[in-house]
Structure 1
Amino acid sequence: MRQQAFLEKINPVRDKMYRLALRLLVSKEAAEDATQEVILKLWDRKYSVKDYTNIEAFAMTSTKNYCLDELKAKKNNNLRLVHQNYENKSLSLQRELELKDELHHIEIIVNELPEQQKIVFQLRDIEQLEFDEIIEITKMKPTAVRVALSRARKKIREKLTNEHNYGLTSG
């Protein structure tokens, strides 16, 4: 496989690889390094990469595994939710602060989730991957993926509801 053909297959996936690495490793520099390392590993296997039916799933799986290996090596269990979809210049300063505060609370809640739930939540709700791709990336059974996602969403919803109600319960 020539360099141009390889880049045509990898470039569309590069941003997703970076976002997943950023989610797992927290640091932008570490995420950039991880993305580059995985791309280099894929380049080393360029002749077998062309035989994969879903290069995106393979690249995402490789990125996930590389990042988890890095986390194990550093014994660092941080996982942050940083989502920058709220860059709308027409927002008032108060609304912008409210959104940042809400994202901070979601980040704290996500940090409390078990590792599998964090990864499934990231892949499905942030990266918007299909269940088949998530199953292939995580090597989990379909039922386990759906249960992990359901539990993650439920936990986030409960914590946010509790926080918005200031801990008050009705009844």
Structure 2
Amino acid sequence: MTTREFENFLIQISARLFGFVKRYLPLEESEDALQEISVKIWEKRGRLSKMEKPEAYCFRMARNYCLKKLMRQEPFLPIDSIIENNLQGFDSGIIQLEYSETEALLFRCIDRLPIRQKEVMYMKCVDGMEYPEIATVTGLKPEHVRVLLSRARKEMKATLEKYYKHEARKRTVV
């Protein structure tokens, strides 16, 4: 892989890779982590051109880097910054508030999932990765990824149903 090919490859995946890393680490650490991951990818550039799925390899490298870093500190998911970024296009304050509350609720539901389910849910729903790509990044079989996503969705559905039933009861009582 030439320097130009590597630059083009890194430019193509850098935004997604940064978003991926940002979910694991605080913003300040994410920027540094992305630099270090880019250096590691550069060192492995010879292997990348021979790989069938070099993007998945890079995401797996990023995931492993972040998990090692998190072992030394408390986990962090920047839900507030994700919500703020997604609200920038809204005009109405009410719509913005409703969207914010709904999104925060969904992220709280995801955060309550077991770590594997949470991880694959973020990769599928937020990053838009496909099953084989998630499998490659996590080191799981695609069938196992499907099972984890199915269980995560069922758990989230049950949690949301409980929440909305509780909210409906509160409204009828008041």
TM-score range, shorter chain: 0.7 to 0.9
Contact kept in structure 2, 1:80 and 1:111, CA below 8 Å: no
Contact kept in structure 1, 2:90 and 2:96, CA below 8 Å: no
Instruction: Verify: 1:85 aligned to 2:86, yes or no.
Output: yes
Per-residue CA deviations over 1:22-58 (Å, capped at 9, x if unaligned) read 1122x11112122111111011222222222221111
Distance 1:24 1:113 in 2: 15
Contact kept in structure 2, 1:162 and 1:168, CA below 8 Å: no
Equivalent residue pairs, number: 166
Unaligned runs of 5+ in 2: 170-174
Distance 1:163 1:95 in 2: 20
Per-residue CA deviations over 1:120-162 (Å, capped at 9, x if unaligned) read 0011111111111111111112222111111212222222222
Query: 2:63 maps to what in 1?
Result: 64
Distance 2:8 2:161 in 1: 44
Unaligned runs of 5+ in 1: none
Taking structure 1 as the reference length, what is the TM-score of the superposition? Answer: 0.87
* Structural mapping, 1:28-107, within 5 Å: 28-74=27-73, 76-81=74-79, 82-83=82-83, 84-90=85-91, 92-107=92-107
Identity %: 27
Question: Superposition RMSD on alpha carbons, in Å?
Answer: 1.9
Query: 2:155 maps to what in 1?
Result: 155
Query: 2:172 maps to what in 1?
Result: none
Distance 1:4 1:67 in 2: 27
- SS across alignment from 1:165: helix
Change (3 A) 1:79 1:148: farther
